[in-house]
Structure 1
Amino acid sequence: MRNSVEIAQYIKKIRERKGLSAVELANRVGVTKGTISRYESGTRKIPMDDIPKFASVLDVSPVDILIESEDEPVVNSTEYPYYPIGISAGLPLCIDSIDEDDLEYISIPDNLMGKWAGRKDIFMMRVNGDSMNKVITHGSLIAVKPVPLSDLKNGDIVVYSDGGDYAVKRFHQRENKIIFRPDSTDDMFSDYETTKDNSDLKIHGKVVMYLVELD
């Protein structure tokens, strides 16, 4: 049977494997981020009564958490910067600037990241909304790679902002006009158009992959 430190480290490993931040796990279990941090650092023991809650959220059994299996695989992971906000897959939404203190890190298994594993220029966000649901469903975790405007191709999926308004859409360019286009099963979503001369426009990066929970 695992001791309290080993239990906390196992929960952290499963959390990271599933692409959950400490804040997301805390919200789902019903505790604070600080409590999760103290559990994972070993400065506070996880109450045995809470083990079923963690097991339910992480989709494992309480026995998996409490008892170590000899068959558990070794999974190599990499930490990536994670912005704990939902990037709009709808109309661009205003997002307050994020201080360095608010920036989190999330660990993703290298076998899930594929050729992007270990890249230092990748950052992670979550999609909020359905305007890209043919490709990226609501709640998906997206990996974004900074790319200059000149390197983008029509149809690339990008995270962009216009002033303080952020969104994720397909990129299209026609001469001086730039079009951000939805890719949705719902025809209520429409193009968002601007120009290359728009000084407030910023392309934050190209979405190179996404991870989604099916349930």
Structure 2
Amino acid sequence: MTNFTRKLRIGVMMDTVQLSDIIGADILAGFRSESIKEAAAVAPELVGHLVDHAPDMEFFYLSSTLDLTGTTMGLKYAPNMTYDDCPRDLDIVLIGGPWPTHRPAAADKFMKEAWEKTPVWLTTCTGSLWLASSGVLKGYKATTNRQFIPTAAQLSPDVDWVARRWVTNPKPYTGESALKPEIWTAGAAGCGIDMVVKFCYQTFNPELIALAADEGMGFSADSKRGQDY
């Protein structure tokens, strides 16, 4: 468990992705300082002691432009930051799964430039294929949606693609952060949810995660769904 003394900046690459792939952003937001303060105002006897442990967070919802951007279900959202303008030295980047044909040049440039400046990267489903297309996963062990593993091997043969629910690797990092530099890649959306919950329990105050993920959303830390299918 780590105590954070500054605001965590989180980039979410979500244009043309399935919303279920980026549920990790909502899990993180569930225990940020703003959320816990709101919960403490309603139930101070249950949540009040956690207020000082909840980290501040800022979310950047990324796209190539600030125009309304679509997801696979047709829902449009308003990005609040472009790939070109987003800081490269974030704390966490979360990547959902777009179709393999979605490869904007600005996103490729962002991933390459932010890879060693941002300590933690989390991908779900074909989000790992998106990250791999930038070249930064060369030589890494990674996973994706199981049905896309043969496609992934063809598109990025320099990555060691394995059939696991999620895979974790240390990664290079040139900055200073309380976060452990790692790349986490997950299979389909349900695997990604379990992966993010696991990451959160390893990284943040477990009482906060139990409140936001387990009790709040029903994503149990006692789930028997581990890294293997």
> What is the TM-score normalised by the length of structure 1?
0.24
Question: More helix per residue: 1 or 2?
Answer: 2
Give the TM-score of the pair, scaled to structure 2: 0.23
Structure with the larger strand share: 1
For the pair shown, the structure with the greater C-alpha radius of gyration is 1
